[in-house]
Structure 1
Amino acid sequence: MSYNKKTDFIFALISIAFFAIATPISIAIKNHYVSLESKKVEMVVANNISLVRSNFEASIFMDTFLADSLATLITIDPDAAFKKWDVVASQLLSKSQHVRNVTASPNNIITYIYPLEGNESALGVDLSRIPEQYKAIQLAKQKQHIYIDGPVNLVQGGQGLIARYPIYSDFPYNKAYWGTVSVVIDYNKLMTYSGIYDIFDAEVAIRNITNTPKVLYGDIEIFDNPDIQHFINLPYGRWQLAAKYKLSDSAHLTFIERTILSMALISVSLIYALFFLIYKNYKTIHKAAMQDELTHLPNRRYIKKLLKKMSTKKEGNSFFTLLSVDVNDFKLVNDNYGHDVGDRFLQFISIKLQENVRSTDTVARIGGDEFLVILNNIYLPEKVNSVTQSIKNKIESESFFHNNKEIKPSLSIGYAIYNDKNIDIETLITKADHAMYLNKNANAFSKTSI
């Protein structure tokens, strides 16, 4: 594995480790802050539920007091009460919060109603013929005190809670039943006023537990292990208010969660970007230190480091051949055509050297017109001679052109085979250089090719 590939592999492993650590940490931070915010939301919801209970109690007590007052007046002097029915009823209604009408029903027949407008259809209705309402009248009669029923579908339309007060003509003995006085509370207005419709982060339910439990609002399942529970105390009765948190749908918590995750993502990305830039800068500096500026081949420092590494491998045998390559009469190219052409000629040589070796081999420029080539796993002399001659023949068979002038390259190549792990790298390089100079002396550069 090359140095670049190795460092890239290590960087990839570090990147994986970074994200493997950063991801759970980010999630843990998100969960921590969402948990804290959830507790705040739960506290707000609990306070709002408590306020709903208080609003219910206050409103119902105030409005049902009207029924008690009207019942007392009718019990004491029914003639006077009905003679001034509109005046008495309007006064009582003006003091209420959510009462839509009051009725008096001698013998359970609605005979008096205020206001009459909008409630004409209820006048004359025999409540004993409406099973749902008659059952509530019987309960009030049996208990001999006010009874709150509902929500009831009203004859005149809509829904209401009905506070029924039984009237007896033989007070205080209460044996002779006269009828009922009822106060109809607008169910929707009461619910709106209570604030129950404004609870967004919990599911809420209310049921009457005074007699047979009856769900007045919400789903019955909410009463199974509720997170919040209150009892609404009413005149001679009790309701149960229960709630279960529904924080998964909380817009506020969703916003908090997304904000924290976004911040975590930005932070992790910035840290990784900084880390990546440091790594790229390191690679750039290292590349500059290990790369020849002109040809972009590995330089002397890199090739010596690689040779040292190859010569100190512990696993198995590490045999290879080091070629020392020199461009014959390169000085004449510089003198005749200038250093710019000389530089381009060296680039041409470097490209041809790379083209004529294997991908597992390494070509380096160690200075001037000198190159080193490592032939990996080639160490038999006959094979080395064959490869060396092939490289020389192929490169010298091509030409470099400048302004339509042909420059024929000529190479001197010497080699040293590494087959002894005790040999010194400097000695190996010296042996290859010595062989190259012997080859140079034996093959003088042909001046006619320049």
Structure 2
Amino acid sequence: MRKSDEAGTRPDVVRIWIALGLVIILIIAAAMMLVEADTQRDQQEQVASVISKLSTVRARLEGAINGNLLAITGLIVEISMNPEITQEEFSRYASVILAQKTEIRHVSAARNLVISHIYPLAGNKKALGLDYRQVKKQADAALRARDIGGIFVAGPINLGQGGRGFVARTPIYEFSESGVANQGRFWGLLSVVIDVDKLYGVAGLTSSNQTIEIAIRGQDSSGSDGAVFFGRPALFDSDRALLDVSLPHGSWQLAAA
């Protein structure tokens, strides 16, 4: 072969190798894009699955809380219409509530913010006469319920009888002849203590069948600004699986992975 032919062949070979190299690069890039797309799809499906399971927990939490709060409606009305209610009468109504709602540990009423009625009396009697305004840990939440004119959920708190509980307080107003809610004279507060462990159990948070890890924040109904009171705080480092639990005034926030 002549030198001129060899010189003409070499550029063709180089171009072929360059073309092959570009094709290989494109194939690798396409494969990497497919892998990345599959990874993203898997991650999206995983997040969707976590959110779906977390939504179930949220629904159970809200349902249990609302069910417990709804159960005390009749007692609120009774006190409003009968502001001189006796301990015996209070116990009779409250016993029906506790028979229906096993998450409730006890119910108390504080006339003029001083605990005047409580059920059950056993184990709780020493709380009678407690003035919320004189106990810093109780005063803020009690006064907030009074001031907002609605139910306020505080806690979880450590209970004097042992264990922990959420305390839902609602103001009571004496019956007004106008029939308009909250226009009568302020009577005091009705408080219901919801057992933390039982509430978590109803919501499935502590179930051995729970397949996701969950954390909750929002101490004292303070939402995303509140302290974590269940699970690992690190779960809130990512915002991919966050859901709010609606409370009468405020919220909690759930995170999961």
What's the TM-score once normalised by structure 2's chain length? 0.71
More relative contact order in 1 or in 2 (CA 8 Å, sep 6+)?
Answer: 2
Between Structure 1 and Structure 2, whose CA radius of gyration is higher?
1
Query: Aligned partners of 2:197, 2:137: CA distance in 1, in Å?
Result: 20
**Do the aligned residues in 2 keep the contact of 1:120 with 1:156 (CA within 8 Å)?**
no
Q: Distance in 1 between matches of 2:75 and 2:164?
A: 22
Q: What is the CA RMSD across the aligned residues, in angstroms?
A: 3.0
1:209 pairs with 2:210? no
Find out whether 1:60 has 2:73 as its counterpart: no
1:106 aligns to 2:111 (yes or no): yes
CA separation of 1:192/1:46 partners in 2, compared to 1, >3 Å: closer, same or farther?
A: same
Local SS of the residue matching 1:155: coil
**Residue equivalent to 2:55:** 50
The aligned residue for residue 93 of structure 1 is 98
Give the secondary structure class of the aligned counterpart of 1:227.
coil
Alpha-carbon contact 2:113-2:132 (below 8 Å) kept: yes
Q: Does 1:223 align with 2:236?
A: yes
5 Å matches for 1:291-440? none
CA, structure 1 residues 72+143, in 2 after alignment: closer, same or farther (shift >3 Å)? same
Given the alignment of the two structures, is residue 72 of structure 1 paired with residue 77 of structure 2, yes or no?
A: yes
Shift of 1:178: 2.3
3-state SS, counterpart of residue 69 of structure 1: helix
Structure 2 Cα separation of the partners of residues 45 and 202 of structure 1: 9
Q: Is the 8 A contact 2:115 2:128 kept in 1?
A: yes
| Aligned twin of 1:232 | 245
Distance 1:174 1:217, change over 3 A: farther
Q: Deviations over 1:45-104 (max 9, x none)?
A: 333211110110000000011333322210111235645222111112222141111111
In the TM superposition, what whole-angstrom CA distance separates every residue of 1:266-303 from its partner, at most 9, and x where no partner exists?
xxxxxxxxxxxxxxxxxxxxxxxxxxxxxxxxxxxxxx
Could you say which residue in structure 2 is the equivalent of 1:180?
Answer: 189
Counterpart Cα distance in 2 of 1:173 and 1:46: 39
Structure 1 residue matching 2:115: 3-state secondary structure = coil
Distance 2:236 2:75 in 1: 36
Q: In the comparison of the two structures, how many residue pairs are matched?
A: 214
Tell me, yes or no, if the aligned pair for 1:59 and 1:97 is still in contact at 8 Å.
no
Alpha-carbon distance in structure 1 between the residues aligned to 2:232 and 2:134: 30
Structure 1 residues 92 and 202: alpha-carbon distance in aligned structure 2, compared to 1, 3 A threshold:
closer
Match of 1:159 among 151, 156, 164: 164
Q: Is the 8 A contact 1:206 1:241 kept in 2?
A: yes
**Residue matched to 1:264:** none
Question: Which consecutive residues of structure 2, in runs of 5 or more, have no partner in the other structure?
Answer: 1-31
User: Is the 1:104–1:180 Cα contact (8 Å) retained in structure 2?
Assistant: yes
Q: CA deviation at 1:241?
A: 1.5
